[in-house]
């Protein structure tokens, strides 16, 4: 544990979360913008579905923890939506069970400010080995849409903030060419879309205190004689809140 204590934003989900610092990913963008304001904490697990998330929910977010997150961003659904295997093994979770699982997760976390991310699209032509022996695809963009809409619907019912990533990415005309590394996981361009959608929700949310990156206090922002010397040679310049290259893109 290090100090001083900062707000924590926990990202909880499958590989879209685990790899969200990779290649200018959306977690990396958040970490940059919230530097000296909040800590971005990753709890991402490649391959997981909502069943596995529910199994460990109390271990990751214990109710008796002395410190609770200021924000939790949750993503599960893409793996749940894959083609069911006859054995019952694998990642697939039937739609109604997925809705039940995500509802339980939401209710458990609801005392904390939370944002759910709906499933992103997939670029089917880019996927390798995306079919079983009968030629049926394991993942389809249509199944992602169905699970995304189910997630968004339950969030409306529970009055939880949610982001329609499936639609947001496809609003870009060249999304198939620029948004995916492998048809599933996001490039820097895809992550920019996710980050902008999250930042929009945080800016518009009527939460007190605000979690908008431009509104949160900066750690150790007081003036200091150790700051860079001003042109007059007699004073110093406080640069704790100085914008960095490209920050204006996220205003």
Three-class DSSP labels, the chain: CCCCCCCEEEEEECHHHHCCCCCCCHHHHHHHHCCCCCEEEEEECCCCCHHHHHHHHHHHCCCCCCCCCCEEEEECCCCCCCCCCCCCCCCCCCHHHHHHHHHHHHHHHCCCCEEEECCCCCCHHHCCCCECCCCCECCCHHHHHHHHHHHHHHHHHHCCEEECHHHHHHCCCCHHHHCECCCCCECHHHHHHHHHHHHHHHHHCCCCCCCCCCCCCCCCCCCCCCCCECCCCCCECCCCCCCCCCHHHHC
pLDDT at 118: 98
User: What would the two tokens of residue 105 be?
Assistant: 């997760």
What whole-number distance in Å separates Cα of residue 169 and Cα of residue 51? Answer: 26
b/e sequence 97-135, b meaning 16+ C-beta within 10 Å: ebbebbbebbeebeeebbbbbbbbbbbeeebeebeeeee
Residue 250 lies in a domain: no
Q: Which long-range contacts (CB under 8 A, 24 or more apart) does 172-178 make?
A: 175/121, 175/123, 176/123, 176/125, 176/126
Question: Which of the following is catalytic: 15, 20, 185, 191?
Answer: 185
| Local mean pLDDT, 10-residue blocks, the chain (251 residues) | 88 98 97 97 98 98 93 98 89 97 97 97 84 72 97 98 98 97 96 98 96 95 94 93 84 77
In a domain, 161, yes or no: yes
Query: Could you give the CA distance from residue 20 to residue 17 in angstroms, rounded to a whole number?
Result: 5
Domain assignment present for 212: yes
* pLDDT reported for residue 248: 80
User: According to the model, what pLDDT value does residue 138 have?
Assistant: 83
Q: Whose CA is closest to 211, among 33, 73, 70, 115?
A: 70
pLDDT at 86: 85
Per the domain annotation, does 1 fall within a domain?
no
Q: Check if 19 is active-site.
A: no
182 assigned to active site: yes
Exactly one of 14, 31, 70, 191 is catalytic; name it. Answer: 14
In a domain, 237, yes or no: no
> Quick check: is 64 catalytic?
no
Q: What is residue 249's predicted lDDT score, i.e. its pLDDT?
A: 86
The CATH number of residue 147's host domain is: 3.40.50.1110
Residue of 157, 182, 223, 247 marked active site: 182
For residue 123, being part of any structural domain is answered with yes
Tell me whether residue 97 is in a domain: yes
pTM of the model: 0.94
pLDDT for the residue numbered 154: 98
Residues whose CB is less than 8 angstroms from the CB of residue 229 and which lie 6 or more positions away in sequence, other chains included: 235, 236, 237
The span from the CA of 182 to the CA of 230, in Å, is: 50
Torsion sign over Cα 12, 14, 15, 16: negative
Q: Does residue 232 form part of some domain?
A: no
- Looking at the 3D structure of the chain, how many domains does it have? 1
Give φ, ψ of 39 to 5 degrees: -100, 130
Q: Which residues, including other chains, have CB under 8 Å from residue 74's CB and lie 6 or more apart?
A: 12, 13, 102, 105, 106, 109, 114, 115, 116, 117
The boundaries of the domain holding residue 120 are 8-221
């Amino acid at each position: 544990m290090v100090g001083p204590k900062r707000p924590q934003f926990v990202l909880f989900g499958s590989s879209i979360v685990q790899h969200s610092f990779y290649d200018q990913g959306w977690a990396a963008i958040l970490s940059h913008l919230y530097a000296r304001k909040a800590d971005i904490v990753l709890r991402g697990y490649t391959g997981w579905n909502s069943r596995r998330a529910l199994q460990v929910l109390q271990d990751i977010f214990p109710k008796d923890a002395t410190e609770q997150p200021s924000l939790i961003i949750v993503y599960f659904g893409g793996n749940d939506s894959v083609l069911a295997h006859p054995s019952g093994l694998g990642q697939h979770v039937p739609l109604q069970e997925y809705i039940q699982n995500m509802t339980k997760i939401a209710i458990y976390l609801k005392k904390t400010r939370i944002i759910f991310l709906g499933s992103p699209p997939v670029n089917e032509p880019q996927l390798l080995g995306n079919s079983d022996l009968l030629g049926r695809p394991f993942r389809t963009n249509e199944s992602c849409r169905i699970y995304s809409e189910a997630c968004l619907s339950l969030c409306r019912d529970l009055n939880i903030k949610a982001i329609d990533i499936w639609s947001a990415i496809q609003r870009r005309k060249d999304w198939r060419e620029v948004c995916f590394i492998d048809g599933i996981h996001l490039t820097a361009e895809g992550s920019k879309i996710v980050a902008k959608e999250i930042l929009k929700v945080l800016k518009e949310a009527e939460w007190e205190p605000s979690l908008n990156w431009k509104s949160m206090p900066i750690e150790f922002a007081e003036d200091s004689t150790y700051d860079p010397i001003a042109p007059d040679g007699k004073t110093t310049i406080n640069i704790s809140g100085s914008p960095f290259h490209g920050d204006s893109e996220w205003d």
